[in-house]
Amino acid sequence: MTLEQNKETFVIESNNLQQLLDALKKEGYKVIGPKISDQAIIYDEIETVSELPIGIKDVQEPGKYKLEKRSDKAFFGFTVSPQSWKKYLLPPVTKLWEATYSKDGICFKEESLPDKKQAFIGVKACELNAIKVQDKVYLEGEFVNPLYKRLRENTFIVAINCIYASKNCFCTSMNTGPKHTDGFDLALTEIIEDEKHYFVVEVGSEQGMEILKSLDSKVASKSNLVNMEQVIENTVNQIQKKLDTNNIKELLYSSYESKNWEEVATRCLACANCTMVCPTCFCTTVEDTTDLTSDHAERWQRWDSCFTMDFSYIHGGNVRSSTSSRYRQWLVHKLGTWIDQFGTSGCVGCGRCITWCPVGIDITEEVKELRKAQGK
Amino acid sequence: MQELKTKIENPMLPKTFQIHKVIKETYDTYTIELSGQDCKSNFIFKPGQFNMIYVFGIGEVPISISSSSENTSHIAHTTRSIGAVTNAINALRAGDTVGIRGPFGSNWPLEKAIGKDVIIVAGGIGLAPLRPAIYHLLSNREKYRKVTILYGTRTPLDILYTNELEKWKSMDVYITVDRTDDKWRGNIGVVTTLIPQAAFDPKNTLAMICGPEIMMRFTIQALQSKGISDTDIYISMERNMKCAIGFCGHCQFGPAFICKDGPVFCFEQIKGLFSKREI
Amino acid sequence: MESLQKVIEEHSFFKTLDEKYIEVLTGCATNETFKEGEFIFREGENADKFYLIREGQVALEIASPSQRPISIQTISNGDVLGFSWLFPPYRWCFDALAKSKVRAISMDGKCLRKKCEEDHALGYELQKRFGEIMAQRLQATRIQLMDLYKMPARG
């Protein structure tokens, strides 16, 4: 998948969207897209367009998530799912290697990397930026994560420009949306206008072009493009939440000893939901196991969270035992130290952490409080 | 400097190393000497770096390399028994095998110290990560001016490398213990009390410190009050580590990953966070 | 052979002390040497001196009936030994045992105490310096008490 900007735009009718799913399947991609399960919109394998949450939107507020009917039959009229695409690039549980013990000593055998290709349907701008943030962690450092690299290379991205923003969205503050800029293979914008229902399609790569060629499409007209910009503009205007990122790193670095952290800790349950739903959180742990014969061992990697009690365990105790220190670690890392580590913010403004916090702690409000406390 | 490091193909996969010798240093600390089973070439590392040692079926821990970086037909690790994996390491015998991943991390600034006085302050097991630096100073002695080693342990029974301390005569070595019986004829008191005896020009000295964090904090204060600047003080930090390659997030200390930005840090770089709690 | 005054003048403990006070101190000072194993002072004795250690090592010890004597701390060359002479009841709290040959300059504490009462400025200068030494010793003792190298407790 190349990341060249290819400005050719096309239009496909909504009743031809199935062709896209079929074309991808034909090319050997496992097609993963949004569907409704357990009263939420999640990302799972889909076969037909009818499985999409047609005419459904998600109402998200601090600590609240509910699905409601839309006034139209939009295919992608919702914002972000409780999970993120990181589930498919950095799987929650992975086997790293296995080892055997014999008289010749230990013999290590690494797990082979998967060959299966996958296509993500409906990646939002904030989500694609989150993937780029994780690319910096896993692909651009001194060491490269081989599994992430392979999965990433095998991923086809069908991005979607948002037509609806929830109360928790703040991508505009983080410069991560709602409009896609690059990094996709195809980017769709859904237009519903009177009787018309179509997608404006931007091609972002050679593979994207290859897939598009096999679909019924026509070149986008000027009015199609105007409609597209209009729709995106509407979405921008729906965004209510703001995060002031002005000098945020300096603000956080000078707030380590603020009383605010203890205040948050009276509400925070350290349940780790925020880290599980966050599309950029990357912490993992390793588990070494043996079987009963004790001559076979395995090492597994699992998602972990800095909110867990023994995340920072050393020498008989935890460096961060108080909830306030753990919340501080998460927030200061996400919005502050991440910038020094990887050159970007760790936050893409998707609002998931606000939605899925059982007590509705809002990261943007916490920053506001820190600014207030410092008079900045 | 990439070319000086051992090339790591898959940094998550351990290589098999065989234990060639086990030395009992004290009642709870052992040194294991290893050589690689599958690689014939020498293990290249810089003083201050560490390996992840895997004991079959038990787990993996980060342990500093405690042998010479110039003669690497074997490498050594000195480990104190403080948990499941370290206990298991210290139960190993010659002929046993372990998994090794590494070397990882930053190193002691031995080039920067050339032409200067060097003061090394070690507390407890902290002498182990400093030993490769001491070996380097010994074999390149003429490049450095006055070298002083201050070493403090809990009791005389906890002193490491007793046979070797004698051999480090081209450097001033002072040892102290926190408590003792009547047989000990040397200093009693914390390691900072030895600093007045060390001779160095504070404007032209490089300090390397390793030990429990509180000990390092007080040592830094004592060296600062002698006039050594924060840019000339280096310490070795420790945090929980799972991957050692900057992916698992566990070893973060503010913006620094102890596994790749450390474990050796210039104090100037981390002093903002060093005395803050629960970082 | 260096003059006593010069040695006192150059000792870091008395740096920046006024010329006239150096003379006073010199007037109260004597060179002393102790053999290895000799006691410089004993617990309970009158504390009428303090010592500038020029060479050697001294251990502060305390003995209890059923145990061998315990060494608490060692004082080495360049250090000052003894501050019980400054405060009532002017008695030594520990034994001071020479662990090697020790050369020291002893200062007549009784005489100095009298001079400090007569000239408070001298008293202040000495109190300042001893205060600093005691603060450092207290700090070091606190760290020693922390038992930093002990096996960490299971949390």
> C108 and C28 in contact (C-beta within 8 Å)?
yes
Interface touch B192/C59, C-beta < 8 Å? no
Both A160 and A187 in one domain: the answer is yes
Q: Which domain holds residue A259?
A: 248-374
B109 falls within a domain:
no
Share of chain A above pLDDT 70, in %: 98
User: Is A315 in contact with C154 (Cβ distance < 8 A)?
Assistant: no
The rounded distance, in Å, linking the Cα atoms of A83 and C115 is: 81
Q: Are A202 and A181 in contact (CB under 8 A)?
A: no
Chain C residues lying within 8 Å of A309, measured CB to CB? none
Q: Same domain, yes or no, for A56 and A184?
A: yes
Domain boundary among B83, B104, B125: B104
**pLDDT tens for each residue of A280-328:** 999 999 999 988 888 899 999 999 999 999 999 988 789 999 999 999 9
CB within 8 Å of B278: residues ≥ 6 apart: A319, A320, A321, A322, A325, A328
With respect to residue B249, please indicate whether it lies within any of the assigned structural domains. no
Closest residue on chain A to C148 (Cα): A315
Cβ–Cβ contact B99 with A under 8 A: yes
Q: Identify whether residues B61 and B14 lie together within a single domain.
A: yes
pLDDT of residue C71: 87
Long-range contacts of C14-17 (CB under 8 A, 24+ apart): C14/C129, C17/C125
Number of domains present in the structure of chain B: 2
CA distance C20 to chain B (A): 28
- B5 in contact with A at a CB cutoff of 8 Å? no
Mutate to test the interface with B, among C36, C70, C71, C146 (most CBs of B within 10 A): C71
Is the domain of A148 the same as that of A263?
Answer: no
Q: How many domains does chain A have?
A: 2
How confident is the model over A106-128, as pLDDT tens digits? 999 999 999 999 999 999 999 99
Q: Across the interface, do A304 and B249 touch by the CB < 8 Å criterion?
A: yes
**What count of other Cβ atoms lies within 10 Å of the Cβ of residue A353?**
24
Which chain B residue's Cα is nearest to C99?
Answer: B185
Question: What is the CB neighbour count within 10 angstroms for residue C127?
Answer: 13
Q: Which chains touch C (3 or more CB pairs under 8 A)?
A: A, B
pLDDT tens-digit series, residues B79-103: 999 999 999 999 999 999 999 999 9
Kindly state the average pLDDT of the residues B173-186: 88
Q: Are residues A300 and A155 in the same domain?
A: no
Q: Is residue A262 scored above 80 in pLDDT? A: yes
Whether B258 maps to a domain, the answer reads: no
Q: Same structural domain for residues A56 and A165?
A: yes
> Given this model, what pLDDT does residue A263 score?
96
Chain C residues with CB-CB distance to B218 below 8 A:
139, 143
| E strands in chain B | 15-24, 29-36, 50-55, 59-64, 75-80, 97-104, 117-123, 147-153, 172-177, 187-188, 205-210, 233-236, 252-253, 256-257, 264-266
Position B43 scores a pLDDT of 87
Q: How far is B70 from chain A (nearest CA, A)?
A: 25
Q: Say if B247 falls within a structural domain.
A: no
pLDDT in tens, A155-209: 999 999 999 999 999 999 999 989 999 999 999 999 999 899 999 999 999 999 9
Residue span of the structural domain in which B80 resides: 2-104
Q: Hey, are the CB atoms on A282 and B15 less than 8 Å from each other?
A: no
Strand duo A105-110 + A117-123: pairing = unpaired
Do residues A61 and A191 both lie within one domain?
yes
The rounded mean pLDDT for chain B is 92
Which residues of chain A neighbour B14 with C-beta distances below 8 Å? 97, 99, 106, 108
Residue A3 clears pLDDT 60, i.e. is over it: no
Residue in chain C lying closest to B125 (CA): C149
Strand positions, DSSP E, B65-116:
75-80, 97-104
Residue B41: pLDDT band with limits 50, 70, 90: low
> Nearest residue on chain A to B1, judged by CA atoms?
A142
Shortest Cα–Cα distance, A265 to chain C (Å) = 22
Beta carbons of C149 and B123 less than 8 Å apart: yes
Instruction: Say if residues A355 and A60 touch (Cβ distance below 8 Å).
Output: yes
Q: Do B126 and B225 belong to one domain?
A: yes
Q: Tell me if A243 is assigned to some domain.
A: no
The pLDDT-based confidence of C154 (bands split at 50, 70, 90) is low
Is A171 in the same domain as A268?
A: no
Q: How far is A53 from chain B (nearest CA, A)?
A: 35
Q: Smallest CA–CA separation between A286 and chain C, in Å? A: 21
Report the CATH number that the domain containing residue B51 is assigned in CATH: 2.40.30.10
- Chain B residues near residue C152 by CB distance under 8 angstroms: 82
For residue B38, what pLDDT band results from cuts at 50, 70 and 90? low
Q: Are residues A176 and A69 in the same domain?
A: yes
pLDDT tens digits, C69-107: 788 889 988 889 998 898 888 888 889 999 999 999 999
Please indicate if any CB of chain A lies within 8 Å of the CB of B255.
Answer: yes
Q: What is the pLDDT of residue A120?
A: 98
Q: Which amino acid is at B84?
A: A
**Given pLDDT bands bounded at 50, 70 and 90, which one contains residue C2?**
low
Strand partners, A296: A100
Q: Do C147 and B185 touch (CB under 8 A)?
A: no
Q: Which residues of chain B make contact with C69, given a CB cutoff of 8 A?
A: 182
Is pLDDT of B64 > 50?
yes
Q: Is residue B63 part of a domain?
A: yes
Both B222 and B129 in a single domain? yes
Residues B9 and B59 occupy one common structural domain = yes
Residues B80 and B58 in one domain: yes
| Domain co-membership, A211 together with A335 | no
Token reading at A255: 């707030």
Q: Which residues in chain B have their CB less than 8 angstroms from residue A256's CB?
A: 273, 276, 279
Distance separating alpha carbons of residues A76 and A85, to the nearest angstrom: 16
- Give the strand pairing for A117-123 and B264-266: unpaired
Q: What is the pLDDT of residue C155?
A: 46
CA torsion through residues B122, B127, B132, B135, sign? positive
The answer on pLDDT for B7 being more than 60 is no
Mean pLDDT of B42-67: 95
Q: What is the CATH classification number for the domain harbouring B195? A: 3.40.50.80
Percent of chain B at pLDDT exceeding 70: 95
Q: Among residues A331, A347, A15, A337, which one has the least CA distance to residue A192? A: A15
- In tens, the pLDDT along B143-174 reads 999 999 999 999 999 999 999 998 898 899 99
Q: What is the pLDDT of residue C153?
A: 67
From A211, A238, A265, the end of a domain falls on A238
Residues A319, B239: C-beta atoms closer than 8 Å = yes
The verdict on B63 and B154 lying in the same domain is no
How many other CB atoms sit within 10 Å of the CB of residue A227? Answer: 20
How many CA atoms, within 13 angstroms, populate the side-chain half-sphere of residue A219?
4
The answer to whether A316 contacts chain C (CB < 8 Å) is yes
Q: Which residues contact B84 (CB under 8 A, 6 or more apart)?
A: B58, B59
Residue of A nearest to B55 (CA): A106
Q: Which chains sit next to A, with 3 or more Cβ pairs under 8 A?
A: B, C
Residue B8: the pLDDT is 55
Predicted ipTM beyond 0.95: no
Query: Do both B177 and B133 map to the same domain?
Result: yes
Residues in chain A: 376
Nearest CA in chain B to C143: B190
| pLDDT tens string A13-61 | 999 999 999 999 999 999 999 999 999 999 999 999 999 999 999 999 9
A284: nearest CB among B13, B247, B254: B247
